[in-house]
Amino acid sequence: MRRIKHLILGSMLLFGSVSTSFAQGAWTKQVSGTTRTLGSVAWTGTQLVAVGDSGAVLTSPDGITWASRSSGSTAVLEFVTWTGSQLIAVGRLGTILTSQDGVTWTPRTSGITGNLISVTWTGSQFVAVGRTTLARPNDTGIVMTSPDGVNWTSRAYGIRGGLNSVTWTGSQLVAVGYTYTVNGNITTTRRLVATSPDGVMWTSTSSSTSSLNKVIWTGNGLIAVGDNAILTSPDGTTWTARFSIYSQTLWSVVSTGTLYVTVGSSGTVLNSLDGVIWTARNSGVTDGLYSITWTGAQFVSVGPAGTIHTSPRETVSPAPLLTAPAQNAMNISTAPTLTWGALPEAASYRLQVSTDSGFTTILVDDSTLTTPTRAIGPLEVNTGYYWRVNGKNTAGTGAFSAIWNFTTASTISIPAPPKLASPTDNFSGFGSTYLTWNASIGATSYRIQMSTDSTFSTTLIDDSTVTGTSRFSGNVQLYTYYYWRVNAKNTSGTSAYSEVWRFTSAPDAISPQVLAHQQLKIEAGNILRFFLPHRTRVIIQLFDSQGRMLSQLLNETRDAGYYNLPLSNELRGSYYLDFRAGGYHRSLRYDPSPTQ
């Protein structure tokens, strides 16, 4: 239980609470009916089960109404999990209990007197981990395995320290905790990660300071949390430290499939969409939150103080209200943009477009939309179309909107002149480049011209076969201005030309590295602006003032041009950005400015 860690650190203990919350909502205090510390909570699909001190077991169908159950044990129960067919709880003095329903519990014989802190199910066996004692520097790690939760075998582990959590990735076991070294009167604690294919043979590594308290497998990777620590790993071997804005101990972490939430001391709640960037949430709780689970509609976190905190359960989103094109609209473009009212309750939207009101023939069926708009087409001319939208979140899929229809124009509109993109007007670069522009709705091809003459009386490029939105400039000369423009075409005709932009190659004295250095800066609003003189891989990492990497902001290949990268508005203090592009490397200080 998380209380063990408090004892080790010598901190004050509070007793007995349960908290539930949707990650973004306020937490409301309820009554648990116990003053015992609760250290773990699990969701079976139909009910919540929490365990804690003196053999405490509580069950609840909704996180609000809780019933006390008899476990038949007086030991501290550290952890409970649901395998899909049974509950298993482990605790101090080698305590192991199993239950089919959370009400009736059966003790199992472990054959040890050590303390079991966590247990997982691999699909073929249970693996429980823990440590021999509750106080350093005398404890060592414990591993036990069982094919059925009834018959248990102790496995040799023997690492000085302890294991706090274990998870199964589908191919291996990953356990985390701490190890330590003793030098005279000084005990140094280090993070411990151990991996095993079978629960018998283990490989362990240690790094940095402090300890890790919880590890989970998300389906795509591992997330581990601990003393002011969030780490991620794709394989249990390579770990990357992520940024926590609080100097707090994090006790537990859970995944909904699309959202990750971690909780810890002093009511700390952080969430993340990707496991990399974490955002603090105001829980309204000051007690420690020791364990968290997800029911499919809300989060439930247990800890001290004999209370329950709940939030409104996430509900299915209502039907959206369509906005444009208007109902029964005529003469609509063959490449229209459909829009509807945003739903705060929706995490995503599904748009369907058909030529019949029964949607028997569906032309567009897109359920990946996260904003209330979608461009479609090209459509047929003088044709009626029907469309509808619904919203979706973790609570389910909402009802479809009303069905609206529109009719396209009898002829295809001539596309609008393209808008040029890069290189920007009056750009001074180095060497050849790609000329790029934004797509014009309805265009099937483009004509690009490039000349050393602003009137285009002679041209170096005159290409009307381009179907994409870029064209290589070819070789360019130093000290020379080049002018370029683009038009768009479809079956109805050709647009006017775009604006005329120009660019020039840089003289020999200005290298790509020097030019990039001049253009790399942080602008108002916490925007990192940088320039790439040619296509290259860009790696941007954020470090704190102590030189610890907090997150990797970018790691991908980008084309030549200017870029603006928004930085976090929630950071406070001094940080450093490490910028690498090709052979160019520079670090610059970042002092975030508050934004409204």
245-295 confidence digits (pLDDT tens): 556 789 999 988 778 889 888 888 888 878 888 888 777 778 888 999 988
Reported as a pLDDT band with limits 50, 70 and 90, residue 194 is very high
Q: Whose structure tokens read 């151990």?
A: 194
> Range with the lowest mean pLDDT among 241-250, 449-458, 467-476, 548-557?
241-250
Are 478 and 519 within one domain? no
Are 355 and 297 within one domain? no
Q: Is residue 415 part of a domain?
A: no
pLDDT at 432: 66
Which position has the higher pLDDT, 384 or 596? 384
User: Alpha-carbon distance 104 to 126, whole Å?
Assistant: 20
Are 168 and 294 within one domain? yes
Q: Is residue 232 part of a domain?
A: yes
**Interval 33-47 mean pLDDT:** 92
Query: Which tokens in the block code for residue 528?
Result: 């990192």
Which position has the higher pLDDT, 166 or 435? 166
Closest alpha carbon to 88 in 35, 143, 135, 125? 125
**Interval 485-493 mean pLDDT:** 91
Which position has the higher pLDDT, 25 or 220? 220
> Range with the lowest mean pLDDT among 227-231, 288-292, 401-405, 592-596?
592-596
Are 340 and 467 within one domain? no
Are 26 and 44 within one domain? yes
**Buried-state track 495-528, b at ≥16 Cβ within 10 A, e below 16:** bebbebbbbbbbeeeeebbebbeeebebeeebeb
**Interval 121-138 mean pLDDT:** 85
Q: How many CA atoms lie within 13 A of 424 on its CB side?
A: 7
pLDDT at 509: 35
**Interval 521-541 mean pLDDT:** 82
**Which CATH number do you get for residue 274?**
2.130.10.10
User: Alpha-carbon distance 438 to 495, whole Å?
Assistant: 14
What is the tally of structural domains in the chain? 4
**Domain end call among 404, 435, 457:** 404
Q: Would you call the peptide bond into 592 cis, given omega within 30 degrees of 0 as the criterion? A: no
Are 184 and 250 within one domain? yes
What are the C-alpha distances in Å from 527 to residues 522, 553, 567?
A: 6, 12, 6
pLDDT at 465: 92
> Range with the lowest mean pLDDT among 56-60, 420-424, 561-565?
561-565
Which position has the higher pLDDT, 84 or 207? 84
Residue 426, sorted as left (phi over 0), alpha (psi -120 to 50) or beta, turns out to be left
pLDDT in tens, 295-326: 877 888 888 877 677 665 666 788 999 999 99
Rounded to whole angstroms, the maximal C-alpha distance in the chain is: 94
Are 427 and 551 within one domain? no
User: Alpha-carbon distance 306 to 33, whole Å?
Assistant: 7
Asked if pLDDT for residue 515 goes beyond 60, the answer is no
**What angle is formed at CA 539 by the lines to CA 533 and CA 540, rounded to 5 degrees?**
105
Element (H, E) at 514: helix 512-519
Closest alpha carbon to 494 in 447, 529, 462? 447
pLDDT in tens, 405-440: 999 988 888 889 999 988 888 887 656 677 899 999
pLDDT at 2: 45
User: Alpha-carbon distance 584 to 273, whole Å?
Assistant: 31
Are 259 and 175 within one domain? yes
User: Alpha-carbon distance 445 to 452, whole Å?
Assistant: 24
Q: Is residue 32 part of a domain?
A: yes
pLDDT at 189: 78
Reported as a pLDDT band with limits 50, 70 and 90, residue 477 is confident
User: Alpha-carbon distance 202 to 35, whole Å?
Assistant: 39
Question: Amino acid identity of 423?
Answer: P
Asked if pLDDT for residue 151 goes beyond 90, the answer is yes
Whole-structure pTM value: 0.58
> Range with the lowest mean pLDDT among 98-107, 152-161, 172-181, 218-227?
152-161
Q: Is residue 114 part of a domain?
A: yes
Reported as a pLDDT band with limits 50, 70 and 90, residue 586 is confident
What are the C-alpha distances in Å from 578 to residues 78, 239, 240, 417, 553?
A: 42, 19, 16, 40, 10
Are 251 and 116 within one domain? yes
Supply the mean pLDDT for the chain. Answer: 84
- Structural domain that includes position 45: 2-310
Which position has the higher pLDDT, 498 or 511? 498
Asked if pLDDT for residue 52 goes beyond 50, the answer is yes
pLDDT at 583: 64
pLDDT at 17: 47
**Interval 187-205 mean pLDDT:** 88
**Which CATH number do you get for residue 384?**
2.60.40.10
Are 118 and 176 within one domain? yes
Q: Distance between terminal CA atoms of the chain?
A: 41
pLDDT at 39: 92
**Interval 378-395 mean pLDDT:** 90
**Interval 118-140 mean pLDDT:** 87
**Interval 486-496 mean pLDDT:** 91
**Which CATH number do you get for residue 580?**
2.60.40.3080
**Domain end call among 310, 342, 357:** 310
Residues paired with residue 291 on neighbouring β-strands, in sequence order: 302
> Range with the lowest mean pLDDT among 220-229, 439-448, 498-507?
498-507
Phi, psi torsion values for 254, nearest 5 degrees: -145, 155
Which position has the higher pLDDT, 575 or 153? 153
Residues 242 and 544 sit within 8 Å (Cβ to Cβ): no
Phi, psi torsion values for 52, nearest 5 degrees: -170, -150
Asked if pLDDT for residue 19 goes beyond 70, the answer is no
Are 127 and 273 within one domain? yes
Are 50 and 124 within one domain? yes
Phi, psi torsion values for 517, nearest 5 degrees: -60, -40
pLDDT at 8: 34
Q: Is residue 413 part of a domain?
A: no
**What angle is formed at CA 427 by the lines to CA 426 and CA 433, rounded to 5 degrees?**
130
Reported as a pLDDT band with limits 50, 70 and 90, residue 200 is very high
Residues 489 and 465 sit within 8 Å (Cβ to Cβ): no
pLDDT at 397: 87
Q: Is residue 525 part of a domain?
A: yes
Q: Is the dihedral of CA 62, 65, 70, 75 positive or negative?
A: positive
Q: Whose structure tokens read 């004050």?
A: 12
**Domain end call among 247, 275, 310:** 310
Asked if pLDDT for residue 7 goes beyond 70, the answer is no
User: Alpha-carbon distance 195 to 203, whole Å?
Assistant: 5
User: Alpha-carbon distance 56 to 102, whole Å?
Assistant: 12
**Interval 482-509 mean pLDDT:** 85
pLDDT at 373: 94
Residues 8 and 298 sit within 8 Å (Cβ to Cβ): no
pLDDT at 16: 44
> Range with the lowest mean pLDDT among 10-24, 165-179, 519-533?
10-24
Residues 6+ apart with CB under 8 A from 274: none
pLDDT at 245: 52
Residues 6+ apart with CB under 8 A from 69: 57, 58, 59, 102, 103, 105
Element (H, E) at 161: strand 161-168
Q: Is residue 412 part of a domain?
A: no
Element (H, E) at 173: strand 173-183
Rounded to the nearest 5 percent, the helix, strand and coil shares of the chain are: 5, 50, 45
Share of the chain above pLDDT 90, in %: 45
**Interval 531-544 mean pLDDT:** 80
pLDDT at 566: 85
Share of the chain above pLDDT 70, in %: 87
Asked if pLDDT for residue 10 goes beyond 50, the answer is no
Q: Is residue 318 part of a domain?
A: no
3-state secondary structure of 9: helix
Which position has the higher pLDDT, 503 or 167? 167
**What letter does residue 228 receive in the DSSP assignment?**
T
Residues 56 and 38 sit within 8 Å (Cβ to Cβ): yes
